[in-house]
Amino acid sequence: MSTQVNVRLNEHLLQEIDAITKVLHVSRSEWLRNIIAHAVKEETLNLKEAIALEYAKGHISEEELNELLGSESEDVKFVVKHLKYGKEKIDRLVEK
Amino acid sequence: MKNTFAFDTSALIYLGHTGLFDLIFDNFEIIISEGVLEELRGISKIDDEDGEVAKIWLADPDRFKIKKCKRKEVAEDELFLICKEIGMPLVTDDINAVKRFEDEITCFFSVHVLYFAFKKDLISKESALISVEKMKTQRDWKRNIIAITSKTLFT
């Protein structure tokens, strides 16, 4: 199922989009759909990476991590805990 | 003196992307199983970045110590047996394997090898962080959790 969304674009941007779609032999709608899907995927990934790093730095709580990442927070919590465990082991190994 | 660690295929591939082959060979006696050797050979036949890394690891197989054990369907399970028998740590980036093994053997992530090199002053903080970035070769969330969060090791 799809829903129509109306977006206003400035004339110059629209000309650039039309030039690209002409070269690629795709419709304006199809090209925009692909670009938006790709951008959403990338932004979601960037956001998840930022959240994981903030948790690892101790800037957000476990509860906040759970809320933001849902079930995916489990692996992040495990990795962060295991990184600390391994760090302590390596510290002791280097001190020997 | 070298540290004797077992390495699984994922760890060798991730670490290989850093290009620090000599540093790793110079500081670690690398133990692998027959299954890991087979996996590396398989990956080396693929025409991509992982394949290139596998080829470099395999260029001098004498630098590995291949331990024989009862063959298992999964190479990590072979390494688990070897590590348990010898009392040696396993380096793996397989989160599920670490969850399965951590109560019985010591498991490290591949970034811990970089942390070891950093603590020993073999690489700078900047080199370590660049190496971590190089390990994020694919835009895959689950595959990159370790690399993303490991940046905190070097602060």
From chain A residues 35-74, the ones with a CB under 8 A of any chain B CB are 42, 45, 48-49, 52-53, 55-57, 72
Mutate to test the interface with A, among B5, B98, B108 (most CBs of A within 10 A): B108
Across the interface, whether the CB atoms of A90 and B111 are under 8 A apart is answered no
Residues whose CB falls within 8 Å of the CB of residue B6, separated by 6 or more in sequence, listed in order: B30, B31, B32, B33, B67, B79, B82, B83, B88, B89, B90, B91
The pLDDT tens digits for A34-53 are 999 999 998 998 999 999 99
Domain locations along chain B: 3-154
A18 touches chain B (CB under 8 A): no
pTM of the predicted model, to two decimals? 0.86
d(CA B125, CA B117): 10
B30: its two tokens: 């690398």
DSSP B3-30: EEEEE-HHHHHHHHTTT-HHHHHHHEEE
Report, at the CATH architecture level, how domain B3-154 is classified: 3-Layer(aba) Sandwich (3.40)
Name residue, tokens 């690399």: B147
Across the interface, whether the CB atoms of B149 and A72 are under 8 A apart is answered no
Comparing B71 with A81, which gets the higher pLDDT? Answer: A81
Contacts of B3 in chain A (CB under 8 A): 93
The pLDDT tens digits for B29-44 are 999 999 999 999 999 9
DSSP class of residue B154 equals: G
Name residue, tokens 């000309």: A15
Task: Give the Å distances, CA to CA, from A60 to A48, A73, B62.
Answer: 13, 12, 47
